[in-house]
Amino acid sequence: MKTLHDFNFNNQKAIIRVDFNVPLDEHFKVTDTTRIEAAKPTIDKIIADGGSVILMSHLGRPKGFEEQYSLKHIVEAVEKVLQKKIKFVSDCIGSAVEQEVANLASGEILLLENLRFYSEEEKGDVAFAEKLANFGDIYVNDAFGTAHRAHASTTIIAQFFPNKKCFGFLLAKEIESINKVLTNSEKPVTAILGGSKVSSKITVIENILDKVNHMIIGGGMTFTFVKALGGQIGNSICEDDKLDLAIEILKQAKEKGVQIHLPVDVVAADAFSNDANTQVVDVKQIPDGWQGLDAGPKSLAIFDRILNDSKTILWNGPLGVFEMDTFSKGTIALGESIAEATKNGAFSLVGGGDSVAAVKQFGLEPKMSYVSTGGGAMLEMLEGRVLPGIAAILED
């Protein structure tokens, strides 16, 4: 796996695919610089070597050129994070960009305009990729969040750099962390899969059953399993067409010697509201008109014991409706159990939009071994797929 350490960037122009798809407020100010900060070590290494940097990214889902999606809005935030002046050009191909690239001196950084202003980017157009490739001497992919897309700048461009392409530090770390869970894990391995639907996690479950010792199932998925096992789930969310699948998963797990842990009690509510009436009930005996919205105290005690005995932990999906304060306790307690296990030497990987949002919201991010930056990309790797953006770098 070629990384930045395999190259000296002195007098080289590095064209880097970064993921600067950051959130903006109504005044077009960046509200979360996490993704920019994640790319900083890669940019710093190239500049320290005496190279120059051309940054390319997308922002949002524009239909052609839309001013609100211009990367000019993020220049100030990028300069603040990198602590360097950066140049910006209001296009990503064409003569104006060629001129800026030609004038780029060692130590300088140029940010190109939003790649998705051209439909060729998402189509994976070869001619468009070649135009981008002509700007750089070395291609660096550091955008894990888009590595599962075969777009021009994430995948197709790599073919124009047969021996001069590599992973940036962020993307290398993502691959390493996921491999640490899937292939090089220290046992016992525990996976926590939450979220509302079994259907969205089925391929992940099937792929990781061979690799884990314990699987904790939480969130809305719980109730499909509980109903399949004959429990009363009241008004809880359930995929009635997946009941047979839930039984099949339990059967496969048993055959493979994997222990599946469902919540034994839940915090049930009489409405989907932060102000609803609540009661703690047995997960198999939720009264009519009530719905389970968080894991209960007995469940959390069981999960805590399992996690504290684990050496490798994967967390993908919350235990309850953590966005509502009343139903956030289970997710917070789970996060604290993982943090404690990590402190005691376990390796913990957190990924998936909601889990990442939860660890950030509750201040748990620094207590985890690694928090992934790419929701969809991580999910596809956990499903056992080879991501096109990664494969393109590994090919000669």
Contacts (Cβ under 8 Å, ≥6 apart) of 232: 284, 285, 286, 287
Burial of 324 (0-12, 13-18, 19+ CB in 10 A): middle
Within 10 A of 187 (CB to CB), how many other CB atoms are there? 11
Do the Cβ atoms of 53 and 11 come closer than 8 Å? no
Residue 57 known to bind ligand: no
Residue 20 marked as a ligand binder: yes
Question: For residues 195 and 395, is the Cβ–Cβ distance under 8 A?
Answer: no
Closest CA to 222 of 252, 267, 254: 267
Give the active site residues: 35, 197, 353, 376
DSSP 160-221: G-TTSEEE-HHHHHHHHHHHHHHTSPPSSEEEEE-SS-STTTHHHHHHHTTT-SEEEE-TTH
Ligand-binding site membership of 305 (annotated): no
The pLDDT, as a whole number, for residue 387 is: 93
Mean pLDDT of 56-79: 97
Any known ligand binding at 353? yes
Q: For the ranges 114-123, 190-199, 296-305, which has the lowest average pLDDT?
A: 190-199
323 is in an annotated binding site: yes
In 3D space, the residue among 138, 171, 113 whose CA is nearest the CA of residue 50 turns out to be 138
User: How much is the pLDDT for 327?
Assistant: 97
**Taking a C-beta distance cutoff of 8 angstroms, is the pair 124, 151 a contact?**
yes
Least confident of 219-228, 266-275, 307-316, 374-383: 374-383
The full set of domains in the chain, from first to last, is 4-172 (3.40.50.1260), 185-382 (3.40.50.1260)
Q: What is the pLDDT confidence band of residue 200, given thresholds at 50, 70 and 90?
A: confident
Q: Would you say 355 is a known binding-site residue? A: yes
Coil, strand or helix: which one is 242?
helix
Amino acid found at 288: D
Check residue 269 and give its pLDDT.
98
Q: Please give the pLDDT value at position 377.
A: 86
Residue 353: band (very low, low, confident or very high) from pLDDT cuts 50, 70, 90: low
- Per residue in 355-369, pLDDT (tens digit) is 888 999 999 999 999
Q: What is the pLDDT of residue 185?
A: 87
Count of other CB atoms within 10 angstroms of residue 341: 24
Whole-number pLDDT of residue 65: 96
**17 annotated to a ligand binding site:** no
Tell me the pLDDT tens digit for each residue of 110-122: 999 999 999 999 9
